[in-house]
Structure 1
């Protein structure tokens, strides 16, 4: 369990101003496994407004399958060697080597076995 006892002073990557990362904010971020904020609250608000992101606009009305207002474009893919059959596979994450990576066929087989 995470337990911060003092506020942290962080420096904003946009405006280079120091801002306080409070104990309660640290707990909130730790509980959700978020990394520390890189921007001060003012720069975060400016960045959010410039994206036209109202916080939950992509999920209005249960329409989860469309890109309402924000489209990330094509997903970056990474090459990996399948841990089961040895074929090269393209995966949507950077393999760390800590866990096995499977091609789509072997992944489907592995998934059905559970």
Structure 2
């Protein structure tokens, strides 16, 4: 089903912003059912005031040895994989995604 750009009213500032077809497809792939309520500027402002910024840690993939980033601080002794190696892992594995 093709998506079309839609205008959405920001709950923070009351300005209309575009919810693009690409963003809609991303939301569907991730399983998100609600559309965004805040424009990018209000979202950035909220993150800055609440301190909920995503932590990016540079790591080396345990499988291929390539450099990647992960949105968490890895636990000592647990392997960390890049996205490609994580996607190709056996499904019964207890390894955290990069």
Q: TM-score, normalised by structure 2?
A: 0.55
Q: How does 1:1-114 map to 2 (within 5 A)?
A: 2-4=1-3, 6-34=4-32, 35-56=34-55, 59-62=72-75
Which structure 1 residue ranges, 5 or more long, are not aligned?
64-114
After TM superposition, what 4+ stretches of structure 1 lie above 4 angstroms from structure 2?
none
Who wins on radius of gyration, i.e. which is larger? 1
Higher relative helix content? 1
From the superposition, tell whether residues 27 and 55 of structure 1 become closer, same or farther in structure 2 (CA, over 3 Å).
same
**What's the CA shift string for 1:58-99, capped at 9, x where partnerless?**
832338xxxxxxxxxxxxxxxxxxxxxxxxxxxxxxxxxxxx
Q: Tell me the TM-score normalised to structure 1 length.
A: 0.48
The answer for unaligned runs of 5 or more in structure 2 is 57-70, 77-98
